[in-house]
Structure 1
């Protein structure tokens, strides 16, 4: 394998090492990691309650709808909420930086 870098590859490496790209990665991680931890904890709560708090999860709320069903459906709601929040976050914080980096990279041709 050759250690020489082509002109195109060296531009990409330069972008990867830039402050702007580091800021983009930091902004991405600033959303993804906390949201992943929050969702994992929320999902774990659902699983733990289902396994160890069966009486609580069996409480009827309306008709045959119990707490477990509501918690299960809220897992789906949470997933869509996180996707929507990420979309807004990306549009506001990530996309402008990524667009600028791409424009600079493509402008150097």
Structure 2
């Protein structure tokens, strides 16, 4: 029913892959992108929160019409979130996915 194939994976296959240089390189590539980007985004987000709470005059400065600095910063929070997601997808496709595919193929080969 459903056409699902069940493959029994030996835990030692995963342990071997986890200790491999390829896997460690995959982790390094992921972490070297994800951690700095996470810190940058959190700083950007907290800057918005802190400015909203403690720099009300600045955040209330009208730029044009009824559009003030706070509204622009708020919209930029959404824009930066989408840009980070887009940048990560490009990074993953170029740097992570090829290596992950190699590791998966290796794991599937060892499990059979």
In the alignment, is residue 98 of structure 1 matched against residue 104 of structure 2? no
Q: CA RMSD in A?
A: 1.3
1:49 is aligned to 51
C-alpha separation in 1, matches of 2:105 and 2:16: 14
Q: Distance in 1 between matches of 2:23 and 2:15?
A: 11
- Per the alignment, residue 3 of structure 1 pairs with none
Give ranges in structure 1 of 5+ residues lacking alignment.
1-5
Higher relative contact order at CA 8 Å, sep ≥6: structure 1 or structure 2? 2
The superposition leaves residues 3-31 of structure 1 with CA deviations (integer Å, 9 ceiling, x where unpaired) of: xxx97111111001111101101110011
Match of 2:73 in 1: 71
Alpha carbons of structure 1 residues 22 and 65: separation in structure 2 relative to 1, 3 Å: same
Instruction: Structure 2: give runs of 5+ residues left out of the alignment.
Output: 1-7
- What CA distance in whole angstroms lies between the structure 2 residues aligned with 1:51 and 1:77? 22
Aligned residues: 104
1:60 is aligned to 62
Can you list the C-alpha shifts for 1:72-107, whole angstroms capped at 9, x where unaligned?
111011111100000000000000000001111112
Q: Runs in 1 of length 4+ with deviation above 3 angstroms?
A: none
In structure 2, relative to structure 1, the CA distance for the partners of 1:7 and 1:48 (3 Å cut) is closer
Other-structure match for 2:91: 89
